[in-house]
Amino acid sequence: MTHELPNALKDAGLKATPARKHILDLFSADCKPINAEYIHEKLKGEKINQVTIYRTLASFELAGIVKKIELQKGSAYYELAGKHHHHVVCVDCGKTEGFEICGVDKISKDILKQSSQFKTISQHSLELFGMCKSCSKG
């Protein structure tokens, strides 16, 4: 149960509280986007308040430990901030798969070139939606 981010909390200037260590462990263990509800459910043995989870996610995001992603599932999802990547989401079961292909930087340059109103583009969101193999059976 030792996490792969041993000094992430200290480096971020965050005190190493049980709640934070457990949540960090969860991120390391399940390498997939998770939301507050999932964390609360997975850690229900630890009796961590939902508010603490929201605050922990906010501080992790501020510290650059995790990244918030918009999967259009009605709540905010987070995952470890690692290599730049995007996701395919199954519209049926919600399963996600990451991918590293991303041509958006080139698109951004083209946009700026032809844009009358924008000066810089610093971020982007790109999510694909489709059917996974299990759900498209039958």
Partner DNA sequence: TTTTTTGCAAAAGGTTTGCAACACG
Partner DNA sequence: CGTGTTGCAAACCTTTTGCAAAAAA
List contacts with DNA (CB under 7 A). 9-10, 14-20, 35-37, 47-52, 54-56, 58-59, 74-76
Nearer to DNA, 15 or 106 (CB): 15
What mask of x and - would describe binding to a copy of itself in positions 74 to 103, judged by CB under 8 A?
Answer: --------------x-xx---x-x-x-xxx
* Residue type at 65 in one-letter notation: I
Of the listed pieces 31-39, 40-48, 54-62, 105-113, which binds a copy of itself according to CB under 8 A? 105-113
* Contacting residues for 75 by C-beta, under 8 A, at least 6 apart: 35, 36, 37
Number of residues near a copy of itself (by CB under 8 A): 39
Containing H/E element for 88? strand 86-90
Say which entry of DNA, a copy of itself, none residue 44 contacts (CB below 5 to 8 A, set by partner kind).
Answer: none
3-class secondary structure per residue, 28-69? HHCCCCEEHHHHHHHCHHHCCCHHHHHHHHHHHHHCCCEEEE
